[in-house]
Amino acid sequence: MLPERERHALREIEAELQANDPAFAAAFSGRKLRRLRRWNLLLVLCDVTAVVMLVVGLFARDAQLVLWGTVSAGALVAWHIARAETAREATGDGTAPAPGGSTVD
């Protein structure tokens, strides 16, 4: 356990960091990261579902499955592009965000 003096110094550093760069401080709070992981998991599950619909539709020669798989795949491509654009805008300088992270909720 840290002595009280060091804990106080860390709280001051944390308060100064939150005041100077709230986005950076929020990145380490953990809440946005969990939400981001949930959205990423949902997006991956949707991708897998679209691919399965396409493959099963092609093998079963079911036009409806192929149609819905194609439509959902197109929507997912648009979702991926929108998330990438939003993440790029969130960095402020137009560069790509750090790997494994995004500020999109």
pLDDT of residue 23: 73
Q: How many structural domains is the chain composed of? A: 1
CB atoms within 10 A of CB 102: 20
Cβ–Cβ < 8 Å for 53, 69: yes
Label residue 53 exposed, middle or buried (CB < 10 Å: 0-12, 13-18, 19+).
buried
pLDDT tens column, 22-55: 777 776 666 666 777 788 888 889 999 999 999 9
Is residue 24 included in any domain, yes or no? no
100 falls within a domain? no
**Is residue 20 situated within a structural domain?**
no
pTM of the model: 0.53
In this structure, is residue 105 part of a structural domain?
A: no
- Dihedrals φ, ψ of 104, to 5°? -80, 140
Q: Is residue 73 part of a domain?
A: yes
- pLDDT band at residue 100 using 50, 70 and 90 as cut-offs: low
The tokens describing 98, both together, are: 């750090």
Residues 56-92 have pLDDT tens digits of: 999 999 999 999 999 999 999 998 888 888 877 776 6
Only one residue has tokens 């100077």, namely 20
- Structural domain of 55: 30-91
Answer whether residue 22 is part of any domain: no
Q: How far apart are CA 23 and CA 46, in angstroms?
A: 29
